[in-house]
């Protein structure tokens, strides 16, 4: 079993990938940014916190417990590198940083399970202190037992909107309103596809009931107008138009935003994987075969990091990608053939359900064209929609990287992870071209900010000043 296999991510996909590799006698290196395993969804609380699985994960407690238990059982048979960032990829090697230590780790096969973050659409005032993403609001609760504010508003569209709101309510936080940009009609249209996973659909309905019992106002079909606030106080209120066009003003001290999720694809990009434009999702995603093989030999992609289908699907996709890697390396895995057939069939249902979610909670592309010029699009570099439109009109920058070069949108510390989708929509609307023609920002290392105190573990020689 000479194969060097590196798994990036210790969430549902990464853990299941590592498990399948270990079953075949391979000892993988598992690299994860988190302090503990579980990924975002099954994030384990820090030492010293004592909330129960039921409190932390609700209806998903059983799945979380199983994933944690199975990962714990793998610990002696893998090389686990927590709190470690893969910041660049070369052919057959990843470069990692752990604190200020740098290492290069060679691989024959690499399974990237990089997960997802919130997909965000700017709204005037979203740069004020107290504006978070829904995922960020959830992390604060899961990890530290904190709410993002005393009176919070959840705004956007997608399963996370209701999940986070319900989790806040259960934890005793005040949710002043849930402002949903999707409509009941969207959901009705999505129903046939959502019925692919009736139990998941039922869980969604249960979340709505939690909110109703708690008396949380839920408004559907809203159009965000502004997050109001000041530099000193931060967020003070949220203003939207309701479905009838009437202005709704909700005082609050924090707001969480999000329009479902976007795949974290930078590592696949740095690995040189081919991307394709997904018209329905209005985004570029790495191309894979049904088992997770990318366009680059030896690079496999699994979980929400390649296609958002949720945690249950990620567990299966992680296992499937590992089985594909084993098969390609000529390493036997007992029962793999039957396993692969079963996993493919199951993933088919998740894919159908994901398409339903997309219909039920549409990405509000039309908001981009309507953003007032003074709205900040790129929060890292504080670049407004007006400035982005100026480089489109006056400097002819109709391609994403050209517009970035001229305007700095996507040039800051997040490298476009949070603004690139909206930025591309602004460009497409202004230039009156299809979104696909805008292209996508080329990935550049490091994936996340890298300390300049970084020193290679292999050779420590350095002149001290």
Where along the sequence are the contacts to other proteins (CB under 8 A)? Answer: 87-88, 90, 95, 102, 104, 395, 399, 402, 405-406, 411-413, 415, 444-446, 449-456, 462-463, 465
Please identify, using beta-carbon distances, which residue of 205 and 453 lies nearer to other proteins. 453
C-alpha–C-alpha distance, residues 10 and 4, integer Å: 17
> What tokens were used for 287?
């191309």
> What tokens were used for 298?
């030896």
Please identify, using beta-carbon distances, which residue of 254 and 447 lies nearer to other proteins. 447
- For the CA atoms of 87, 291, 329, 74, what is the dihedral angle to 10 degrees? 70
How far apart are CB 163 and other proteins at their closest, in Å? Answer: 31
Please identify, using beta-carbon distances, which residue of 53 and 406 lies nearer to other proteins. 406
Buried b (16+ CB within 10 A) or exposed e, 179-195: bbbbbeebbeebeebbe
How far apart are CB 386 and other proteins at their closest, in Å? Answer: 16
How far apart are CB 454 and other proteins at their closest, in Å? Answer: 5
How far apart are CB 416 and other proteins at their closest, in Å? Answer: 10
How far apart are CB 127 and other proteins at their closest, in Å? Answer: 15
Note the maximum CA span of the chain: 68
Please identify, using beta-carbon distances, which residue of 87 and 259 lies nearer to other proteins. 87
Could you report how far apart the first and last alpha carbons of the chain are, in Å? 46
**SS3 for 297?**
coil
How far apart are CB 452 and other proteins at their closest, in Å? Answer: 5
Q: How many Cα atoms within 13 Å fall on the side-chain side of residue 252?
A: 32
Please identify, using beta-carbon distances, which residue of 76 and 464 lies nearer to other proteins. 464
Please identify, using beta-carbon distances, which residue of 341 and 456 lies nearer to other proteins. 456
Backbone angles phi, psi at 121, to 5 degrees: -120, 125
For 283, residues 6+ apart whose C-beta sits below 8 A from its C-beta are 262, 263, 277, 421
């Amino acid at each position: 079993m000479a194969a060097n296999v590196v798994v990036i991510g210790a969430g549902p996909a990464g853990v299941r990938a590592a498990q399948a590799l270990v079953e075949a006698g391979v000892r993988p290196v598992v690299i994860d940014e988190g302090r503990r395993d579980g990924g975002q969804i099954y994030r384990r609380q820090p030492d010293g916190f004592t909330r129960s699985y039921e409190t932390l994960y609700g209806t998903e407690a059983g799945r979380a417990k199983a994933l944690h238990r199975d990962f714990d059982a793998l610990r002696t048979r893998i090389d686990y590198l927590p709190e470690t960032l893969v910041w660049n990829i070369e052919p057959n090697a990843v470069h990692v940083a752990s604190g200020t230590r740098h290492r290069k780790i060679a691989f024959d096969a690499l399974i990237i399970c990089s997960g997802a973050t919130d997909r965000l659409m700017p709204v005037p005032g979203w740069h004020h202190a107290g504006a978070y993403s829904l995922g960020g609001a959830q992390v604060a609760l899961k990890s530290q037992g904190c709410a993002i504010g005393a009176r919070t508003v959840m705004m956007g569209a997608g399963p996370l909107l209701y999940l986070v709101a319900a989790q806040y309510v259960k934890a005793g936080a005040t949710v002043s309103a849930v402002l949903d940009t999707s409509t009941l009609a969207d959901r009705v249209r999505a129903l046939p596809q959502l019925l692919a996973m009736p139990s998941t659909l039922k869980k969604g309905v249960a979340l709505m009931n939690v909110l109703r019992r708690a008396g949380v106002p839920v408004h559907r079909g809203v159009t965000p107008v502004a997050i109001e606030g000041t530099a000193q106080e931060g967020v003070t209120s949220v203003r939207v138009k309701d479905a009838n066009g009437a202005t709704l003003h909700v005082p609050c001290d924090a707001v969480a935003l999000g329009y479902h999720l976007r795949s974290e694809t930078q590592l696949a990009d740095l690995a040189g994987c081919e991307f394709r434009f997904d018209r329905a999702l209005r985004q570029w995603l790495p191309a894979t075969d049904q088992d997770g093989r990318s366009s680059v030999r030896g690079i496999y992609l699994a979980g929400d990091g390649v296609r958002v289908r949720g945690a249950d699907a990620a567990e299966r996709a992680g296992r499937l990608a590992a089985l594909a890697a084993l098969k390609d390396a000529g390493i036997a895995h007992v029962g793999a053939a039957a396993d692969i057939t079963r996993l493919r069939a199951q993933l088919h249902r998740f894919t159908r359900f994901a398409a339903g979610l997309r219909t039920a909670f549409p990405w509000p592309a039309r908001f981009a064209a309507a953003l007032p010029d003074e709205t900040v699009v790129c929060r890292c570099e504080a670049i407004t929609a007006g400035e982005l439109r100026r480089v489109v009109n006056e400097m002819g920058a109709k391609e994403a990287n050209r517009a970035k070069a001229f305007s700095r949108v996507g040039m800051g510390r997040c490298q476009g992870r949070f603004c690139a989708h909206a930025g591309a929509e602004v460009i497409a609307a202004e230039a009156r071209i299809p979104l696909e023609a805008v292209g996508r920002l080329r990935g550049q290392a490091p994936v996340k900010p890298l300390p300049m105190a970084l020193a290679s573990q292999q050779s420590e020689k350095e002149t001290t000043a």
